[in-house]
Amino acid sequence: MNEKNISLIESAFKEYYFNRFDLIHVPKRATEREFGYQKFNSGMIRHLAIKNDKELHLLLMKEIPSDVYCSNAYYTFPNLPMSEKDWKGADLIFDIDAKDLALPCRKDHTIFKCSSCNSSVIEFQSQCPKCGSTKFETASVMCKNCISESKKEVTKLVDILTSDFDIKKEEIEVYFSGNEGFHIRVTNSDYEPLGSQERADLVDYIMFNGAIPESFGMKRQNNSKSSLPTLEEKGWRGRIAHRLFTSKSKTPKITKEIISSGYTAFQVQLEEIKKTMGVRVDPKVTMDIHRIFRLEGSINSKSGLSKIQCDNLDSFDPFLEACLLGDDNVQILADCPLQIKLKNKKFGPYKNELVSLPKYAAVYMLCKGLGNAI
């Protein structure tokens, strides 16, 4: 990123980090966690110990980081190198990203930016219409549909965590990630000591990966003897029963149909069910027990929005509630082929024009690579 952009963004971040102590806190058991941060155009600084809010605020004001992270793991010595930290356990974390949901709306708001002449288009093209280059960078913004679809995944996840895994609602924290999705963190649970392999299997459960027909009562041979799950059951068996039978009265008829179609057909059906009922989380995030994860309250430099907790998921509007930068006007050169809505105001589309925008909107465009400071 160029220097002018950085200094505009940093000045906006600085204002936030100086003024919004009320939003920025260390997580529970902070002294056992590893912290890290990044500045624009430079590498990650990790293995930091931060004891309390005050130390955190001091660091933020001094460094004005582009991104701030904190481990989900608990260590005896969080500031030593990884091999000496002494891992004690880790919160369960989940990452739900609109980008991973294969939503049809994505193509309407993914912007292709030519790497050589910088012009941007919405539709995918193999060659830049202006200069013929074949190299593009993409920038994406989140639309209403992306938000509501991501929320659905969060709701599915929370349902499995509470009913199948007996995790208390109070221990589940849901955050807007600051860019295009949600982060979920479970603290204080029996799941804390689990290693990476165990978490991988847990995530397969949540995603409904690797389910075999036998587990749902379908026999490979002699399948007339199959006994499918019932509506009263819990866990995946219950969920599958609801999906297949919808109601008690329809159960016998549908059971017959499924059994007569056979094992392979049922297997295909389970694959289909996985696509809609499995929770689409990023398995790598949950499996990683040494990860440093974006710190709540900090700003995400991919958008200029903050990672904040969603108290009421249904009504949560990231473009309103997570957009927390200042609103005095700054001039930028905007090149944004889409209209963007922030804090209930509409911006753009702009075709390489000089515009005066509130800081939060200007920073959003710069972070997305859709504009330049002048």
Q: Which does 193 bind (CB under 5 to 8 A by kind): Zn ion, other proteins, none?
A: other proteins
199, 189 Cβ separation under 8 angstroms: no
Under the criterion CB under 8 A, does residue 170 sit at the interface with other proteins? no
Place of tokens 């913004």: 141
Number of residues that bind other proteins (CB under 8 A): 29
Question: Is 163 an interacting residue with respect to other proteins (CB under 8 A)?
Answer: yes
Pick between residue 132 and residue 195 the one whose CB is nearest to other proteins: 195
Written as six digits, the tokens of 363 are 């920073």
The burial class, CB within 10 Å (0-12 / 13-18 / 19+), for 342 is: buried
Amino acid symbol at 184: I
Pull the structure tokens for residue 108. Answer: 């309407």
**The entry of Zn ion, other proteins, none that residue 131 binds, CB within 5 to 8 Å by partner kind:** Zn ion
Q: What's the rounded Cα separation, in Å, for the pair 367 and 302? A: 5
- 114 binding partner (options other proteins, Zn ion, none; Cβ < 5 to 8 Å by kind): Zn ion
Calculate the dihedral angle through the C-alpha atoms of 37, 40, 43, 49, rounding to the nearest 10 degrees. Answer: -10
Q: Which of residues 196-255 bind other proteins (CB under 8 A)?
A: 197-198, 200-202, 204-205, 208-212, 214-215, 233-237
CA 223 to chain centre: 42
Nearer to other proteins, 21 or 205 (CB): 205
Strand partners for 32: none
204, 282, 288, 317: the active-site residue = 282
- Closest CA relative to residue 334, chosen from 66, 113, 15: 113
What are residue 276's phi and psi, to 5 degrees?
-100, -35
DSSP annotation string for 306-366? B-EE-SSTTT--HHHHS--S--SEEEEEEEESS-EEETTEEE--EEEEEEEEEHHHHHHHH
- CB closer to Zn ion, 148 vs 264: 148
Which partner, Zn ion, other proteins, none, binds residue 128 by CB below 5 to 8 Å per kind?
Answer: Zn ion
Q: By CB under 5 A, is residue 45 in contact with Zn ion?
A: no
Q: Does 133 contact Zn ion by CB under 5 A?
A: yes
Q: Does 289 bind other proteins (CB under 8 A)?
A: no
Residue 148 sits in the site that holds other proteins (CB under 8 A)? no
* Residue 187 CB partners (closer than 8 Å, separation 6+): 28, 91, 171, 173
- Rounded distance, CA 36 to CA 28, Å? 16
Q: Which stretch binds other proteins (CB under 8 A): 76-84, 151-159, 162-170, 341-349?
A: 162-170
Give the separation between CA 293 and CA 300, rounded to whole angstroms.
12
Q: Is 282 annotated as catalytic?
A: yes
C-beta of 273 vs 323, nearer to Zn ion: 323
Binding map of Zn ion across residues 105-124, x = CB under 5 A, - = no contact: x--------x--x-------
**Should residue 362 be labelled a site residue for Zn ion when binding is judged by CB under 5 A?**
no
User: Residue 273 Cβ, how far from other proteins at the closest point, in Å?
Assistant: 12
Q: Which residue out of 95, 100, 201, 288 is catalytically annotated?
A: 95
Binding footprint of Zn ion on the chain (CB under 5 A): 105, 114, 117, 128, 130-131, 133, 143, 145-146
Residues serving a catalytic function are: 95, 97, 282
Binding footprint of other proteins on the chain (CB under 8 A): 163-167, 190-191, 193-195, 197-198, 200-202, 204-205, 208-212, 214-215, 233-237
